[in-house]
Copies of this chain bind each other. A is one copy, B any other.
Amino acid sequence: MDSMWMPFLLTLLLSAAAADSSLFEANGVPIVRNISEINQDNYGRLGLSHITIAGSVMHGFKEIEVWLQTFAPGARTPIHRHSCEEIFVVLKGSGTLYLASDSHKNYPGSPQQFPIFTNTTFHIPINDAHQVWNTNEHEDLQFLVIISRPPIKVFIYEDWYMPHTAAKLKFPYYWDELSYGQTAPVKDEL
């Protein structure tokens, strides 16, 4: 085939694609998406399955982000804090929320323990250090996580007695990292 036809064929192909473009938002994100077809990954964290259902970096949301996370028995988040609102809806399994509510000390201190289980909701007060742990040996723990002010900026503690000022900023976070690639994002209210 002569290469002179290529621009025409390309136009035809693009027109065919555009026929469906009304199903998408201006930023290219489909309005309706099948969650089972969204990529899941453990992002290097043992026992984790993370799906970004609606994301800032991936999908262009500016005010809210929604994740579906599954923790195998024994899997847990790091001890961490962040300055966004965060709400969990537990879909399956059970586990423990560790929460250090006294933010007036120099370090989180010994956390309170809260049992969490299917069909509970829990929230993390802004900037309180916390950790979610699947302490059920027999069952996966699955929940939806909703955060505000994405993309998330996380300060990670090695233990509950590490000073707040020593907690290490992880930004971009694991699941946003690949989308940013090697380019550092613009800094905002970190």
A residues neighboring B (CB under 8 Å): 22-23, 25-26, 29, 31-36, 53-54, 59, 61-64, 66, 84-85, 87, 89, 97, 99, 101, 112, 114-116, 119-123, 125, 144, 146-149
Contact = CB atoms under 8 A, between A and B. Distances in A.
B63 A122 contact: no
Contacts of A97: 31-32
B87 A62 contact: no
Contacts of A148: 63-64, 148
Count of identical protomers in the assembly: 2
B22 A114 contact: no
B66 A122 contact: no
6 cross-chain pairs, A with B, having the tightest CB-CB distances, nearest first: A63-B148, A32-B122, A63-B85, A54-B87, A64-B148, A32-B114
Contact of A64 (B26, B32, B35, B85): B85
A45 to B, nearest CB: 23
A41 to B, nearest CB: 17
A32 B66 contact: no
Given A22-B101, A54-B146, A64-B148, 7 more contacts: A32-B122, A34-B119, A36-B119, A63-B64, A63-B85, A66-B87, A66-B89
Given A66-B146, A99-B31, A148-B148, A53 B87 contact: yes
A120 B31 CA distance: 10
Most B-side CB within 10 Å, residue of A25, A97, A148: A148
